[in-house]
Structure 1
Amino acid sequence: MKKIEFGLMTFADMAPETVPGKGISAHRRIQHLLEEIKLADELGIEVFGIGEHHREDYAVSSPTTVLAAAAAVTKNIKLTSAVTVLSSDDPVRTYQQFATVDLISGGRAEIMAGRGSFIESFPLFGYDLSNYNELFEEKLELLLAINRSERVSWSGSQRKPISNLGVYPRALDGQIPVWLAAGGTPASAVRAAKLKLPLMLAIIGGMPSNFIPFINLYKKTAWENGTSAEELQVGINNHVLIGEDDEAIADAFFPHYARMMDRVGKDRGWQPMTRQQFEFMRSERGSLMVGSVEKVVNKIVMEHEMFGFTRFMAHSSMGTVPHELVQKSTELYAKEVVPQVKRRIGIR
């Protein structure tokens, strides 16, 4: 059986600053975030991912900066973005920054590239949203070219060409693992498969079973394009919070989760989240993994049966969930959930 990795990720949500122009809330949130990564490393979690956002309710706009800080205080854990909004970034700088994290960490950096679920970065960095798809496709192409070769010649329609220029520094082994992040659009599955990139799917609502055709499309296209079953990598990401008492952790989590989902959904036309909807998402068929160790183990095993994932990322630090609950969830995840899942699916 292929190796299966278990990781954690966060968007570093925070309460907006109470004093305009000050970074008090962001300072506190980033300090807590570094504590979360350090604990995950100490407990043997294999991967930690940090998202990129440019809003007042998220603390991290530059994942590589925080990953570099984490690299200096950890020993074994892989450090990845989750995601890098590549459409509004520069692929040269993206590679350089992750290569620097890779050198600090001794070869533990990864890139999870995506288009992102928010659009604030486009006007902020001067990009036209009408070029949304073209920007991502071209910049991903350039990033992969830089990753493959020290010297690059490239041309496209969204930026000036590069003619046989070197990109430095290089990562410790030259190349950095690049994953493609997706939310379920079939074109994303086909793109990742044709480029022979590992795929990370975020399941943050509805029923996981709805995504089986998406993963099957990725696998089928990957095999048709020369990726062997042994090489295939599929990642799944769910919202996760674990407690010793199933109902108690649900009661503690619901107000924070509902506020976060309502805040995000306000601009997207979502209805306010009800406790009934929350409980459906927590049920056996739902995507939300919030509850006891047993409940979370059962749901991760179910998703492994559905998707055959090689990496599972638990998104545990969400909204304004207290830091102490996140740390306790991490301990239960590492010490109880992951070992039980591994036993259930037959890996040591």
Structure 2
Amino acid sequence: MIPIAMPLLAEDEADAARAAVLSGWVSQGPQVSAFERDFAVLVGAEHACAVSNCTTALHLALTALDIGAGDEVITASHSFIASANCIRYCGATPVFVDIDPDTYNIDPVKVAEAITPRTRAIIAIHQMGMPCDLAALGALANRHGVVLIEDAACAAGSQIRINGEWDRIGRPHGAIACFSFHPRKVITTGEGGMLTTADAELDRKFRLLRQHGMSVPDTVRHGSPKVIFEDYVVVGFNYRMTDIQASIGRKQLERLPELVSRRRALASRYTELLGNIEGLHLPFEPDWARSNWQSYCVRLPGRVEQRTVMQKLLDQGIATRRGIMCSHREAPYAGTVCLHDLRQSELAQDHAILLPLYAQMTEDDQVQVATALRAELGC
């Protein structure tokens, strides 16, 4: 079986987790702090705050910005449903706009058309690791006085050229960037997330809110020679990462450059193998972007039925996934008034498939995938 994805975890991660288990401190503690420092240095962020997953990261981002009832947040429907759910958690209204059909990322022109006096934020999703047009989105956000949040769930290791300089996604280029360490991502802690920001006050709020609004963290109380009583100054959440997860994450960060290099080579090879299939739309990487290729997404020719192709490949031992979901088509958002055309988002969901891509793939694996796809497309 060729799976859709496979995390690269080895003895280094197992040893790190074992050391954390035997340390006597397995909840949020010194390894989490070290992971935050390592991540901040890697992406060039001033602050990094680890949390339990990217959904909680996005929720904390909006909560720290005091976004709530009566506010609108513009985002793409073409994303995992968490991007929309975090807006609803705050009582705000998600406003869905369409994507660029080449990059599958939110279209800045459509964002500009959707801004109203109620707009408080834009959540730009770096879909499948491909960076959004942050230069255009950042200028738009600044011009209208709204906050730009990066949903960078898939984008650890991706880069973007801004003002002639290459930066890692996560610096961040908006107010906040949020990452996921789910097993489908390039690096993983099993579950886990991270928020990065240049704003010290936002970082303080993240840290307060992720731990029940506790005024004094348990690590500080544990290390104090004096008895300390904590207060609970706001209604917070239990969004903490464990030291076991963080210890694995630190080892994964060491692998990240190699993993991204390998995935970029695999994506390039797919392009060679599939490049001359008539009607097959291959992924597009703008010259100002360097994707980590968290996924390799192809859009099938219009005459081809998506589910049939996927089933035929699965019958041959090749796992695929359909194009990224559209939240506005799901039951929780069925009643959402959608004033914006989402045609490209729907076409991407209905006609695109994600091919297997992971660091351990061999040349034979890729040839098998490409040969099977060619056969099903009659090429």
User: Please, what TM-score do these two structures have when normalized by structure 2?
Assistant: 0.28
Higher relative contact order (CA 8 A, sep 6+): 2
Larger Rg: 2
Structure in which a larger fraction of residues adopt helix: 1
- The TM-score with structure 1 as length reference comes to 0.30
